[in-house]
Amino acid sequence: MSGNTRSGAWQDTLAGYALRAATAAALVIDAVVHLQDAHFYDTNTGSLLDQGQLFRIQAVAAVIVAVAVLVWPRWPSWLLAFLIAASACAAVVTYNYVDIGPIAGLPDMYEPSWGPPGKVLSAWAEGAAALLALTGLIGRWPGAVRPAGSGTPP
């Protein structure tokens, strides 16, 4: 055998299942917090969407991607999980410290406090989901080289 093969069979191991479950769990935690808190932000409107609507959209996207990572752990699922989690984490941290103002029809979401319910939990879940999804993505990226005997290509 050649010593290196292109494969993602490590995801069919206990570690792979644990990575998928942990990523999905972090995304679901993030979604639950966003759904629970969305009504607090319904009055913060922009010309296109209000912040409550953005929270609901983000929550639905996180749940869909969590399911995708669990049932179809291929690189597109991992990439979407990373993008959803990393963008949400970047948004909550940025809008906590920087008053960007309204952007392209979106409301001004500046909130210089970690006090709102679930905000810290959501930020931690988003950061964890981003790191976990990045780990899964690195393991599934097309052309990634893995040790021989790690399985067959997807």
Choose between 78 and 146: higher pLDDT: 78
| Dihedral-angle region of residue 85 (phi above 0 means left; psi in -120 to 50 means alpha; beta otherwise) | alpha
Q: Which tokens in the block code for residue 30?
A: 């993030």
66 CB-near residues (< 8 Å, 6+ apart) = 23, 24, 25, 27, 28, 31, 81
pLDDT tens for 108-142 read 999 999 999 999 999 999 999 999 999 999 987 76
How do the domains of the chain map onto residue ranges? Answer: 4-143
| Phi, psi (deg, nearest 5) at residue 13 | -100, 175
Averaged confidence pLDDT in the chain = 87
Whether the predicted pLDDT of 150 surpasses 70: no
Cα 75 from Cα 64, distance rounded (Å)? 15
pLDDT tens for 12-67 read 789 899 999 999 999 999 999 999 999 999 998 877 889 999 999 999 999 999 99
pTM over 0.95: no
pLDDT tens for 64-101 read 999 999 999 999 999 999 999 999 999 999 999 999 99
Q: Residue 78's pLDDT is what? A: 96
Question: Average pLDDT, stretch 97-107?
Answer: 91
